[in-house]
Structures are given as C-alpha cells and as structure tokens.
Amino acid sequence: MNIFGKVKIGYLIAESSKFDEWVDFAQKCLGLMLSERTEQALSFRIDDHQKRLIIQKGVQEDVTHLGVQLADESVLQEVLHRFDQRGIDYAQGTAEDAVLRGVKAFWTLRGPKDIQLELFIDALHTQDDLETKVSGFYTGDCGMGHVALTSRKPEKMIRFWQEFFDARLTDTIEQKINGVILDVSFLRLNERHHSVAVARTRGSVHLDPIRTRIQHVNFQVLDIEDITASYQRCKDYGFHVVWDVGLHTNDREVSFYVASPSDFEVELGWNPIKIDEALWIPVKHTSISVWGHKPRNPTPAHKLLHEFGQLNRGLKSLKRDEYSPI
Ligand SMILES: [Fe+2]
C-alpha cells in the first residue's frame, strides 16, 4: 500500500514559560488566532481545526510534539503495521490528551531527534469565524505547513519519513557558508513542495548548531500583503527578524523568518509551488534564495552556523547524540 498524498502535518506543540510573549508573537504579529488560554496551555488556530499550534507551560523552550494527520483508518493501520515490523513502540494517547490537541484520538511514539510524533485521523473542527490579522492561511490537502530541522543523523531521519510515510524527495539545496557546505533535503508527503526539510553539514561528522529540535516551522498565508504587514508588526513589537524577506530558489515561496519567544524560528510564507507528480523531476539547487533572505543581527546559533569555517573549539557540544528510532 502506497500512502503518499495521504499524510500531512497537522499540529505542533512547543513548551514554553513565556505565554505573554507567545500571544504577542503568534497572534498580534503573525496573525494566528488565540482560541484558548488556560493556566497550562495556549492554543492557536489558522483554519477550522480547533488547534494547530499549542504552547504548553514548561521549562523547555522548544518544540516537543509533531502531529501528523492520516487520511483514514487504513492508512493509520498501514503505518502502525510498519512500526510493528520494525519493532518500534507506540501507544494510544489518552482521551484527555486528545482534547488538548484538538483531535478525536491519536497514537504516539518517540520520533527522530526526540520529537514525539503523533498520528491522528480526525481533527476536532470549529464553525467559529477565524479572527485574524491576515487574509488567512493555506492548509487543506497540503496540511499545516512544514518543519525544517538540522540533523546529525540525516540519512536515518530521511529514511524514517520515506519508510513509514512514503515521503518523496522533491529537491536538494547545497549552500556554501564560510567554507562549510550545508546540504538540505526537501521531503514531500503530499502536493506541498515539502513538509519536512532535513539540513546537514557535509563531512564525516554532521554537526548540529541549532539548540532547538526544529530550526523553523512554516505557515503559509494567502496574500503577499500578509507577508509585508506581518513583517512590519514583528519589527514594531521588537521580535527578531532573523532572515529578511526573500524568494526561495526551490519552492518559489516569498517569506521571512522571525525568532519565536522559544528561539526556534517561524517562517511566514506566500505562494509556494505545488508539485505535479506526473511531471516533477528532483533537481539540485546551489543557493537557498533567488533574492533576499539576508541575515539580520544573527542570533548566537546563526552566528555559529556562519562561522563554521573558522570553528575550532566547542565542537564537542555540537556532537551530542541524536535519537533515532531506526
Ligand atoms: Fe521553510
């Protein structure tokens, strides 16, 4: 059974103690709708799903869970069967945790890089209007957006998505930064150009200079003016725009990147191409952007990335082990 096209990113959970900053950031700047605020969690909407981004109260300033939506019961059974065959443990989530995620039921397992991977079929929907500062967000058959990660075990991470979710390689980008080559593989699960991007440093040992489990999560807005207005709001509120507005070479998305209160970045993008399976041939690009995406006041992690070439100490901390289920 081939499940390509029947898999999409559904939700993201991060842990943070900075609830007020997250409300300013996600709702007032990026235009996500705060749909629920409790002592323990913030929930944000971008469409008719009750929850797409959930911030849970906690000490890690990091992404902890990634929800993956499957088309139906047969797809779920197929994926669980594949996990069984490889001896990968999973468990059914509790009813209480399902409500917290805005889904009817879910299955959970320890995924690559210690992100808890959660499988669900049906989201809980709402008929309430989406109150947002932007025109809206594109989701539908493409899912919530995409995530990008740096990995010390990129081959395993890519194989994980290919083996269990029938991911396809859309294209790759090779970018030279101060003498160090960064290779990024873009994997698609459906017609979205990519749902998961895996970045690695070239060489026998892959370094991971990013503290957080994901480097960025992408949300796709409906209008180019959503990009410019959100960009301006982020600057007005003093959030750190890490990469200025630019156009990506491969998915042709116009976007900018801003550091969230928990350090991982959010990419707000507009108008990426969709993949036509009948015509697509994977290609290799040699730069990330056609124009723009210039770094602004680099964060320590970005400075590190840019200074890889001169790096001769502190390598040990970059070699911490990375969990892989396969
Ligand atoms: Fe991206």
Query: Do 119 and 110 contact (CB within 8 A), yes or no?
Result: no
Say how far apart CA 8 and CA 116 lie, in whole Å: 16
Residue 85 CA to ligand 1 centre (angstroms): 32
Residue 108 CA to ligand 1 centre (angstroms): 25
**pLDDT tens-digit series, residues 141-163:** 999 999 999 999 999 999 999 99
Query: Do 78 and 1 contact (CB within 8 A), yes or no?
Result: yes
Residue 320 pLDDT grade (very low, low, confident, very high; cuts 50, 70, 90): confident
Residue 252 CA to ligand 1 centre (angstroms): 11
CA distances from 203 to 49, 181, 198, 264, 299 (A): 42, 8, 15, 25, 24
Residue 258 CA to ligand 1 centre (angstroms): 12
**pLDDT tens-digit series, residues 95-123:** 999 999 999 999 999 999 999 999 999 99
Q: What is the pLDDT of residue 319?
A: 67
**pLDDT tens-digit series, residues 246-294:** 999 999 999 999 999 999 999 999 999 999 999 999 999 999 999 999 8
Domains of the chain: 7-120 (3.10.180.10), 140-310 (3.10.180.10)
Residue 37 CA to ligand 1 centre (angstroms): 28
Residue 29 CA to ligand 1 centre (angstroms): 18
Residue 197 CA to ligand 1 centre (angstroms): 8
Residue 220 CA to ligand 1 centre (angstroms): 10
Ion ligand 1 residues within 5 Å by Cβ: 218, 267
